[in-house]
Chain A
């Protein structure tokens, strides 16, 4: 019987799987990526876009850790737009439409070029478990592949069912078989250990349109940015040709058709029980929940430069195909449209992520890591971010090294993982910048400053990026030092045409730049060297000036946060035996087993009384650790 041995095996070739495989391989683990079909590695199942507010931040963080998504999107982006340009840098959201084929090809090329990474195109039937540990996979063909750790990224495939009207088709994605035996395996584990909860979620996708049959001349065009801002810190210039999107709207006639037939939608007929995302609702949901609004915006997004397929963003639906055809044709510009493929809703299994450690390892089955939609999230970027964390930690565990965590004060990756494992999910989880307490610090523009050094230490960043990063940091540090040492009195500033309060105080260049009345050119006239700084460095100095007082305050909060995070809770506390705590709280703690006092404090239903008791344990633990260290 065929059998091979690896350090890490990744199941799944979507956004989570690719990033997990590449991360494990970069770390140096001998990695095998197993997926049912090699041709669909890097496929974008839903909308052809990467990034956005919050999501773009995640892509930058993945890139700062030498991940793939940013670089691949830069090779596939056909309509780059920086969102929130008129707001401050902390909430700028890099985003692009992606050519689906270019993206898939670039991702597959990146995967094939990754050292230490092998591919296997077979469906996986089961996880190999020995002595309570996941130690490999068994494929549909009956092959056994062993590994020190396994990462499972099933996306929408785990017992996936597609719904179109009353039609129900078992599928992981349009035209592809679901993973049913793996689902049974997880349900079995849930039953056996009682330590994980499974559930169903749903998401949806709109019909795909033939762009050649759209009357674009009637529609408002939305062009790409004149100067596209790339995702990757390593990309110097976007060379893919840029295209336009078109905007149209639903209307009263659309509304009427949907409202009349809403019971034919499986969500409203009761056929679907899974929970869908509120922020990405089907058009049926928009009609039912906001009956007063007759018009909803639709972005007509091209799926590729040489592909006529158009993705109508905003009208995801699972109505019967004939009805989809009818309501879509009521929309301006789409009167004569040809539908290539109807939209659908898809229901799939997920695991309550509270069953995971912050390393994304399943508490009930050591050696098994979960990433992506299986953890109740939605979105390519969220999946990729978790893939990176899971892949890295699986590889480290296989090598006998400790897990690496990202905390809420250093990365959106940390915010996301902590939210998932601490609070769980009640609907598909999407990243928002408002989820980050330290939003002004966690910017897309400084992801490398926050993470690349840590990535180098974790063994995740290759030499090329490390070198580029160090060169940039040297230049940035030099510029910051100068910006803080160049000073002027109000009098001196006045002679240069900059008028500030005459209080005799010398102000640094950064402080002067913070005045709305003073701009870069005024200061460059005084300190000509500023003209030699790159655009990236100039942006960093400008942001330092704009956010000055706020960042200081935030740093104080971060310090307080880190004090609680530094209080680790012993892993052997018998929570059920703790006196002076309500039974309900004890049970919650016993199930969650928080790693730090800070994490415990973020759990739902925690009382200050319970935290006070835990603080006592954390301090005892700290003293114990200090003693052990001194021996």
Chain B
């Protein structure tokens, strides 16, 4: 941990690898100015003023590039340390030679994954949810994810957690007053009355724990196509994805493995998963395919069941049908799906789909299917205006806080000091979300998530 901690000067290429007009190399740490001097910059630019400077190799004085150099002085920088940005030409030779020149200096070392953000947190420039939001923003593939990450970056989640923590602090203070000043004329039952506000807070917290939309949006949704062999799952996948992603043939059992296609719906990244047909398998390969298909069905967030007039519904039973979100009656132009196959449908939405290529009926059908899918995506992962939990870590900590508060309420009559203990535990769990406490132990776990900051 100490090697990754503050104190040393680090550097990294902050822009993508490969040929480009520009590349940015960032440095952070106490020796930034020394490193710039070693690169032949005699006249350091004023802080926060971009200036053109020639960069030379520290030992052989070879000219490496002409760069726009920008300095930031601690603590007014992203990391809270002295920092510099070298805006250089984005060629492979240029960037590699400058990185090599920096690496040759004893005063600095290449940054590891997440180093810059880690330092920002260590120096109190941002809390953990802010750091996580930056990672999410960089990874965002769709507009909804982008909006969610931006909201979190601006402190919306932190504000909610800190608000609860503050409220618990007041509650705890009153409970403690009841304990400490037993002999003084405080209002009777002060501690018990302080706890009266807890149930409302607890149910708000529980609602957050149960709402998985933030996590779903961050992770994206998996949509599985299930059905009997030859029901037409692969062709539906291709039509939704707009390309020939899966090999489609008229012979049953073509998709023996699992095929995935990524797409964006409502700004949410979707992985469409095509699965092998569900039936009593013939050979070993197909049996494996069926096993995987079942696994995919379990892991999916949304399940589409594909039926057709010429195949049997492989999920006849009510229990398996309960997990289905949309039933697609495929090959509608070839006839209706027999009534017997539509047993146990309950309230499942049904959409018909025609197979005739290029027909108007077909494109109308697709629009209806897409609309139904969009509706589902919005419900499961749509961006919310209010702050949401975006990581399992948040859910776990908030869940712990709920357990502690619940216990505080039941134990208060037995011993007010035990309720106080639980209030403290709840506060601490909330603090873990923003990194207000236990930060040392947390950092290594949390920063393992980051592959950013370079």
Interface residues of chain A, those whose CB is within 8 Å of chain B, are 52-54, 83-84, 87-88, 90-91, 93, 95, 279, 296-297, 299, 432-434, 439-440, 516, 546-547, 550, 553-554, 560, 578-582, 607-613, 615-616, 619
Return A27 CB to nearest CB of chain B, in Å.
33
Are B7 and A550 in contact, with the CB atoms below 8 A? no
Residues of A with C-beta under 8 A to B179: 53, 84, 87, 91, 433-434
10 A-B pairs with C-beta separation under 8 A = A83-B182, A83-B183, A87-B417, A88-B414, A91-B416, A440-B421, A608-B122, A609-B122, A613-B2, A615-B440
User: CA separation between A554 and B425, bound complex, in Å?
Assistant: 10
Interface of chain B residues 20 through 45 with chain A (CB within 8 A): 29-31
Residues of B with C-beta under 8 A to A612: 1-2, 5-7, 122, 440
Are A608 and B414 in contact, with the CB atoms below 8 A? no
Interface of A is mostly: mixed
Considering the complex, give the chain A residue whose CB is closest to the CB of B8.
A580
Are B2 and A615 in contact, with the CB atoms below 8 A? yes
Residues of B with C-beta under 8 A to A83: 182-183
User: B443 in the interface, Cβ–Cβ < 8 Å?
Assistant: yes
Residues of A with C-beta under 8 A to B339: none
Return B120 CB to nearest CB of chain A, in Å.
10
Residues of A with C-beta under 8 A to B443: 608
Are A580 and B124 in contact, with the CB atoms below 8 A? no
User: CA separation between A90 and B183, bound complex, in Å?
Assistant: 16
User: CA separation between A53 and B181, bound complex, in Å?
Assistant: 8
Q: Interface size class for chain B? A: 35 or more
Residues of B with C-beta under 8 A to A607: 122-124
Considering the complex, give the chain A residue whose CB is closest to the CB of B178.
A87
User: B385 in the interface, Cβ–Cβ < 8 Å?
Assistant: no
Are A579 and B415 in contact, with the CB atoms below 8 A? no
Return B440 CB to nearest CB of chain A, in Å.
7
User: CA separation between A52 and B6, bound complex, in Å?
Assistant: 46
The 7 closest A-B pairs by CB, nearest first: A88-B415, A612-B5, A616-B2, A580-B7, A297-B185, A609-B122, A609-B6
Residues of B with C-beta under 8 A to A279: 181
Residues of B with C-beta under 8 A to A553: 425
User: CA separation between A579 and B80, bound complex, in Å?
Assistant: 13
Are B5 and A88 in contact, with the CB atoms below 8 A? no
Considering the complex, give the chain A residue whose CB is closest to the CB of B177.
A434
Return B401 CB to nearest CB of chain A, in Å.
14
Considering the complex, give the chain A residue whose CB is closest to the CB of B75.
A582
Residue from A299, A550, A581, A610 in contact with B418 in the complex, judged by beta carbons closer than 8 Å = A550
Residues of A with C-beta under 8 A to B185: 296-297
Interface of B is mostly: loop
Are A615 and B183 in contact, with the CB atoms below 8 A? no
Residues of B with C-beta under 8 A to A296: 185
User: CA separation between A93 and B8, bound complex, in Å?
Assistant: 51
Return B338 CB to nearest CB of chain A, in Å.
49
Return B74 CB to nearest CB of chain A, in Å.
8
Are B180 and A54 in contact, with the CB atoms below 8 A? yes
| Known A53-B182, A434-B179, A615-B2; contact A608-B417, beta-carbon cutoff 8 A | no
User: B162 in the interface, Cβ–Cβ < 8 Å?
Assistant: no
Are B184 and A297 in contact, with the CB atoms below 8 A? yes
User: CA separation between A554 and B183, bound complex, in Å?
Assistant: 28
User: CA separation between A560 and B439, bound complex, in Å?
Assistant: 13
User: B132 in the interface, Cβ–Cβ < 8 Å?
Assistant: no
Are B30 and A90 in contact, with the CB atoms below 8 A? no
User: CA separation between A589 and B440, bound complex, in Å?
Assistant: 19
Residues of A with C-beta under 8 A to B8: 580
Residues of B with C-beta under 8 A to A432: 176, 180
Are B417 and A579 in contact, with the CB atoms below 8 A? no
Considering the complex, give the chain B residue whose CB is closest to the CB of A49.
B183
User: CA separation between A469 and B416, bound complex, in Å?
Assistant: 31
Residues of B with C-beta under 8 A to A516: 414
User: B228 in the interface, Cβ–Cβ < 8 Å?
Assistant: no
Considering the complex, give the chain B residue whose CB is closest to the CB of A247.
B185
Residues of A with C-beta under 8 A to B182: 53, 83-84, 87, 93
User: CA separation between A299 and B182, bound complex, in Å?
Assistant: 13
User: CA separation between A550 and B414, bound complex, in Å?
Assistant: 13
Interface of chain B residues 422 through 451 with chain A (CB within 8 A): 425, 439-441, 443
User: CA separation between A610 and B7, bound complex, in Å?
Assistant: 9
Are B123 and A609 in contact, with the CB atoms below 8 A? yes
Are B119 and A609 in contact, with the CB atoms below 8 A? yes
User: B121 in the interface, Cβ–Cβ < 8 Å?
Assistant: yes
User: CA separation between A56 and B415, bound complex, in Å?
Assistant: 19
User: B81 in the interface, Cβ–Cβ < 8 Å?
Assistant: yes
Considering the complex, give the chain B residue whose CB is closest to the CB of A554.
B421
User: CA separation between A612 and B30, bound complex, in Å?
Assistant: 15
Residues of B with C-beta under 8 A to A297: 184-185
Residue from B183, B414, B440 in contact with A52 in the complex, judged by beta carbons closer than 8 Å = B183
Residues of B with C-beta under 8 A to A608: 121-124, 439-440, 443
